[in-house]
Amino acid sequence: MPSSRLRAPLAACLAVLATGALAQAPNQPGAPQTSDQPAANSASAPPSIQSSLGPAGDPGGVRSFLSSKGIDYSLTYIGEVLRNARGGSRTGTIGQGRFDLQIDADLDRLLGWKGAAFHTNLYQIHGTGLSRYYVNNLLVTSGIEALPSTRLYELWLEQKFLEGAVAIRAGQLAADTEFFVSQTAGLFVNSTFGWPGYAGANLPSGGPAYPLATPGVRVKLAPTDGVTLMVGLFNGDPAGPANDIDPQRRNRRGTTFRVNDPPFLIAEGAYAYGLGSKDAALPGTVKVGYWHHFARFDAQRYDALGLSLADPSGTGIARRLPGNDGVYAIVDQTLYRPAGAADGGLSAFLRLAASPGDRNLISAYADAGLAYKGLLPGRPNDTAGIGVAYARISDAARGLDRDTILFTGTPGIVRSREALVEVTYQAEVVPGWTVQPNVQYIARPGGGIANPRDPDGAKQKDAVVFGARTTIRY
């Protein structure tokens, strides 16, 4: 069990916030609309369909009245159909959707509380997950996939100081709305282009990320227009200690509000350039980050005696290792911008991450891609993209697979990696409404595991997924 020092309440660790800082880059112009995360948490909120509805867009003027008082709300619905046409654990078609109610309040205008803001959003999630029931892979095929539920996500207050140069946010927070984010990657449907599958696989309950937020504090510093620094401290397990119950069922409504688990610390620094009208360089952002989890983690291969977990003479109980760490880097870069345009063109992204392999399933991760906004004539707000991702199974986990084959004397599978290619096109029907067909090729689902539905234990075949998503935001 973790020591009392590590299991101290979250509040006891807040002193860390005074010594570190983490970064969120200013918005990169021309980034595609992002729909997986709440709009207010994207670098730039996507447009609303209200402008296309005429007088019906604000019945009774309620929205305008609330906005004049400092209260803004949005409603977003994402619905999609995905088909696993080949490979994985079985073929099949699913439908799923997510309704998001988001409320933001400027507390200066509402209450005279200068520099303060309030935010909350709630989800209604329905449908069947393709990865959970059909593909059985690590890099989940959709960013909205989750068990059906109606749940609270984020609920926080933020106070700004020094004309916004310092901002402190506290409450129920999600790391994936600000940290480890590539604006260009937000176009894609697969969840790993949001909160990477590397983090979801290595952190307790997947970390403070969709669909599980958790109590925490975030401090953000913006000393210049191009430099931002942030540090976030979160309760380390949004669903509580692991058992046989799925984390989403352990925190079924998003209202567990745990604060006594060993904390999770993440820090990031970002530099954005080429954002000014007089800059000769095309816009870009570079980020570097580090995270540390204060809990104890199971070794992937050995028990406390130093014997393989597959060795029948051993205990079969994984050695407990103190703490866990990771580092990452992100580059978003505009490669081409049409002459005289303030938006659109070709952008690229690259993300790299690594963690120690003795206590993590995935030891190295990379993704990259291209997005072109305005590729087709007469369609300036459409975005086409191609993205690739790679997750490497750690040496320790591979070693355990080899040990299992050795000690059992039966043929088996040694996991190695999972890789993904996604091609997508996001088309704007009207401002605030998009449709998005996509195709995904998933190589070695689960890292190359056996198909649990195959009586002979044959390895899962590469999967091919076809899908279509529609997003409406009001």
Q: Return the structure tokens found at 385.
A: 């993209």
Residue 5 lies in a domain: no
Q: How far is Cα 41 from Cα 154, in angstroms, rounded to an integer?
A: 10
**Nearest partner of 272 among 285, 260, 262, 259, judged by Cα:** 285
Kindly report the CATH number assigned to the domain that includes residue 257.
2.40.160.180
Is 4 a member of any domain? no
What is the per-residue pLDDT for 393? 98
* pLDDT profile of the chain (474 residues), mean per 10: 39 36 39 51 68 87 94 97 97 98 97 97 97 97 98 98 95 98 97 97 97 98 95 96 86 95 98 77 95 97 97 96 98 92 91 98 98 94 97 98 95 96 97 97 97 91 98 97
For residues 147-165, one letter each, b for 16 or more C-beta atoms within 10 angstroms of the residue's C-beta and e for the rest, the string is bebebbbbbbebebeeeee
Say if 287 falls within a structural domain: yes
Structural domain boundaries, residue 289: 10-473
305 part of a folded domain: yes
Count of domains forming the chain: 1
Q: What is the pLDDT of residue 41?
A: 41
Does 469 fall in a domain? Answer: yes
Work out the number of other CB atoms within 10 angstroms of the CB of residue 1: 8
SS3 of 153-208: the string is EEEEEEEEEHHHCEEEEEEEECHHHCCCCCCHHHHCCCHHHCCCHHHHHHCHHHCC
Its pTM surpasses 0.85? yes
Q: Please check whether residue 3 lies inside any domain of the structure.
A: no
Q: Which pLDDT does position 55 carry in this prediction? A: 84
Query: Quick check: is 123 in a domain?
Result: yes
Strand 433-443 and strand 461-473: pairing? antiparallel
pLDDT at 333: 97
How far apart are the C-alpha atoms of 236 and 454, rounded to whole Å? 36
Residue 377 domain-assigned (yes or no): yes
User: How far lies 388's CA from each of 335, 416, 424, in Å?
Assistant: 18, 17, 12
Q: What span, in angstroms and rounded, lies between the C-alpha atoms of 380 and 386?
A: 18
